[in-house]
Structures are given as C-alpha cells and as structure tokens.
Amino acid sequence: MTSVGIDAIEIWTGNLELDLPGTFAPAKGEDPEKYTKGLGLQSSSFPDSYEDIVTMGANAAYRLMDRKGLEPVDIGRIDVATESAFDNSKPVSTYIAGCLEDVFEGDFHHANKGERKFACVAGTQSVDDAYNWIRAGRNRGRAALVIATDTALYARDDPGEATQGAGAVAMLIDEDPNIVELSTEQGYGSADETDFLKPQQQFPSVDGKRSVQVYLARMREALEDYESVAGDTHPDNFSYIPFHTPFPGMVRKAAALGYRNVIRDTDVEDTLADEIGRQPRPEAFGDDDAFLEATKEYTEALTETDHYQTWYEGTIEPTLTISRSVGNWYTGSVHVARASALQHALENDVDLAGEKLLVGSYGSGAQAEVHAETVRDGWREEIGALSIDDQLERRYSLSFAEYEAIHDAHNHDKDVETTELTTPEHEFVFDGWGRMGERKYRFVE
C-alpha cells in the first residue's frame, strides 16, 4: 500500500508579538500568573498592518516550495484551511496561488484549489482530503499543498482576547513522505454544538467555559471511535501526542482525560491502584452526578502521581513549546504542536524514525478527530530546516497602545490609518484594494 503523509512543513508567524504576562495582564489589571500558569501562555503572535491570512499562508508556502526546489507543475492541489476568510465565494487558495505565481516559473492552472471550513479542525480535514486524493490515485504523481492560516483575533475585552494568535502552517502531502505517514484508522467525535461561532461576523461569539467542556467531550468520543477501529491504545505506544492547542492549559485538561481513558483496564491502572485506587465505574454509582464527581476526584489524584507527570513531561509538554509563544493559530494549531514535538526530539537527539504519534485535532461547532502517525526516516532533515525559532526571535514586541492600534487596524468595522511597525523583507505583503473589492498583494525583495 502506498505510504502517504506529510513530506515537508513550514511555519510562518505574524511579525508582531504581545507579551501576555508583561504587557497585557498589567493593562487589564490581571495577575500575570493567570497567563503563565493558568492558560500556559507567554506571548501571542499578531499580524503587522501589511499581513493577513493570504500573506502568512503564501509566505509559508513560498518558503516550503523554495526550500524543496518545487515548481507549480509539481503541485496538483492547493487547499487552504481557515476560519478567518474574508470572501464567501473566492477561496483564499486562489489568492495564495496568485502570489506564488508571481515568484515561481509556471502556474497552477491545472491544480484543484479550495477552502475548507470546520473551525480549527479544517487544517486536519484538508490533510485528509489530500491523503484521500493521493490514495485514490488521482494525483498524477503530483503533491498537494495544504495551508492552514488564521488571524485568531477576538473582540476587545472578550475573555478569548487572552488566547489570540496569528500565523500559518504550510504542509506538503505526498507519497513516500519524509516526516510522517498517516494511519488509515481515524476516530471522530462530532455533534451540533453552539460553543464558538462567527455568524457573518469577524470576531467569534464564544461561550468560553462551555467550549472547554465541548472540546473534552468530543475528544473523548473521537478517542473511543479511534480505538474501535485501531484497537486499544496504551500511553507507551506513542512518543508524542500533539493536540489542538487553543492554549496549553486546554491540553493539560485533554491529556488528563485521554490518559485516564486509555489506562482503564491496563497494567498502568493496576500499578497506580495502591496509590490512588481504581477508576470509578458507572455501574457502581446510583446517579451520573456521583459518578462524574468520583471521576473528577480520580483524575485529580491521577495527575498528581509521578507516573502521570513523567508521561506528561515526555509526551505532552514538548508539543506545547511553540504554542506558549504564539497563542492560538486555529487551523494551524495542532500542526504547530506536532512540529514543536519533533523539534524537541531533534534537539534532544531522540531516534524517532518508526515511532508513533497520536494526533488529536478539534474544531468548535464541534468535531474532534484522532489518528496515528508513523515518523519517517527523513524527519530530522525536514524539522532541522524549520526557521520558526528565528522568526519568533525577530518579532516586534508591542506596547499596549500599539496592540490596541493594531487590533483596530485588523478590525473590518474600523477604518483607521496605521503605520507598519516592522519592515517586510523577502515576503508577500498586502498592497491595497482592487476595483472589485479584491485584495492585492506584492512580493517585497
């Protein structure tokens, strides 16, 4: 069977940075530890006034194609996943293809282009679409370019403002991939939920506390569905478990729930029984509330054990490093988590080839997806080529007044004059509006 998966990856961050404990928390009159300890965030990325989902996506794709020596003729499909689209008809992928055609020889006239929407899970769905297209043998030897790009901005003073971010991830999906091969087995947890939505509006309507519960409920369903096709999972089977990361504190909760589920009836539950007892079973309780309370207590005790903490430090914590510095990138977030884990392995000289990852994606509204990935021999070279650390280092750090101005600059309902805070270099920039209201772009050398 043909091996299909992620062959290459590039990450592009917005060029601005907001220090959450240092700048945002004091301006909001909040304790900085809410950010560092509670949400698990240090800073968030923002787009400068000349950046948007097209420039960030095109810049990530440009770097990827340039580094891999690809030309448009090598790409048979361009799918963009975003929940920040500005056009209900013309997909972002056409804008990005237009940008790329300005700098590469040839064109994408025979590539299928589209835009995927299901909140943050759309990035993984686009990877799926590309995987299926290749496995169906419809790709004519060509690869697919999947770009997850978002400006995750919330209305000012919405609790979600703490978790903003902006950036793009470009992935090349191909046969015989260098980074990871995807499993055919997948699990889904999907339900009609009203937790986070943007009904014809730029900034989301969010029921934040509920969104956390919906994330956990759908992720548990997806994990159970995955196990129903792939067989029981065990924590020791996976080197890393990247989750969708709206903020690291969310993953802390998801990891505890996932771990509790997969250790049930295993040697791990037996080993921990002396210390914290066995997991509550529903049949031992008269009502749901008592069972849920007992489960909550067991989970809290579980996360205090050395056993759990060692697993968490090794398997989950490394997936969160980049996220702590960039915030939520919506569709790109789980793909940033995977890259973060692989960077950790590279820096620590871990031999990952042949090892497995379990990937948990999530989109509000709501749907979770779980699948496994097998790390391929070429992962070191690909991950070693990432420039995200340098990019993060180069970001311009915003004062609170500058943050307010840049938030206004990206607010579609406001018409404000803003000056650039950074100087674009070797990247695509927004270049004003065309006669039909289209956005125009140019490449700055």
Question: Does residue 159 touch ligand CAA according to CB under 6 A?
Answer: yes
Question: Does residue 18 touch ligand CAA according to CB under 6 A?
Answer: no
Task: Give least dist CB 208 to ligand CAA, A.
Answer: 2
Active site positions, annotated: 83, 120, 244
- Out of 5, 91, 160, 318, the only residue in the binding site for ligand CAA (CB under 6 A) is 160
According to DSSP, residue 204 is labeled P
Residues numbered 34 to 53 that lie near ligand CAA (CB under 6 A) are 34, 37-39
Distance between CA atoms of residues 348 and 390, nearest Å = 19
Task: State the DSSP H helix or E strand holding residue 27, giving kind and residue range, or none if neither.
Answer: helix 25-28
Q: Give the CA-trace dihedral at 54, 123, 385, 97, to 10 degrees.
A: -30
Between 42 and 328, whose beta carbon lies closer to ligand CAA? 328
Between 95 and 215, whose beta carbon lies closer to ligand CAA? 215
Q: Which residue is nearest to ligand CAA (CB)?
A: 38
Stretch that binds ligand CAA, among 204-212, 223-231, 275-283, 370-378 (CB under 6 A): 204-212
* CB half-sphere exposure, 365, CA atoms < 13 A: 14
Q: What track of x and - describes contact with ligand CAA for positions 292 through 311 (by CB under 6 A)?
A: --------------------
Task: Give least dist CB 226 to ligand CAA, A.
Answer: 19
Task: Give least dist CB 210 to ligand CAA, A.
Answer: 9
Distance between CA atoms of residues 86 and 68, nearest Å = 30
Stretch that binds ligand CAA, among 7-15, 44-52, 206-214, 433-441 (CB under 6 A): 206-214
Q: Is the Cβ–Cβ distance between 32 and 42 less than 8 Å?
A: no
Question: Does residue 404 touch ligand CAA according to CB under 6 A?
Answer: no
Question: Does residue 319 touch ligand CAA according to CB under 6 A?
Answer: no
Distance between CA atoms of residues 225 and 119, nearest Å = 21
Q: Is the Cβ–Cβ distance between 217 and 189 less than 8 Å?
A: yes
Distance between CA atoms of residues 75 and 140, nearest Å = 10
- Residues forming a β-bridge with 397: 17
Stretch that binds ligand CAA, among 7-15, 51-59, 158-166, 346-354 (CB under 6 A): 158-166
Residues numbered 112 to 151 that lie near ligand CAA (CB under 6 A) are 120
Q: Between the CA of residue 87 and those of 54, 150, 403, what are the distances in Å?
A: 12, 14, 26
Distance between CA atoms of residues 203 and 385, nearest Å = 34
Question: Does residue 203 touch ligand CAA according to CB under 6 A?
Answer: no
- Out of 95, 118, 311, 362, the only residue in the binding site for ligand CAA (CB under 6 A) is 362
Q: Site size for ligand CAA, by CB under 6 A?
A: 26
Between 162 and 375, whose beta carbon lies closer to ligand CAA? 162
- Out of 110, 209, 296, 440, the only residue in the binding site for ligand CAA (CB under 6 A) is 209
Question: Does residue 196 touch ligand CAA according to CB under 6 A?
Answer: yes
Task: Give least dist CB 64 to ligand CAA, A.
Answer: 24
Using DSSP bridges, classify how beta strands 16-19 and 396-397 pair: parallel, antiparallel or unpaired. parallel
Question: Does residue 212 touch ligand CAA according to CB under 6 A?
Answer: yes
Q: Between the CA of residue 341 and those of 164, 222, 313, 320, 388, what are the distances in Å?
A: 21, 22, 11, 8, 13
Between 34 and 135, whose beta carbon lies closer to ligand CAA? 34
Between 84 and 328, whose beta carbon lies closer to ligand CAA? 328
**Phi/psi-derived region of residue 176, left when phi > 0, alpha when psi is between -120 and 50, beta in every other case:** left
Between 134 and 337, whose beta carbon lies closer to ligand CAA? 337
Distance between CA atoms of residues 306 and 313, nearest Å = 10
- Out of 144, 147, 162, 357, the only residue in the binding site for ligand CAA (CB under 6 A) is 162
Residues with Cβ within 8 Å of 328's Cβ and at least 6 positions away in sequence, in order, are: 44, 152, 163, 164, 165, 245, 246, 247
Task: Give least dist CB 257 to ligand CAA, A.
Answer: 13
- In terms of Cα–Cα distance, which of 124, 103, 97, 255 is closest to 186? 124
Which chain residues interact with ligand CAA by CB under 6 A? 31, 33-34, 37-39, 120, 159-160, 162-163, 196, 206, 208-209, 211-212, 215, 244, 246, 249-250, 328, 330, 362, 364
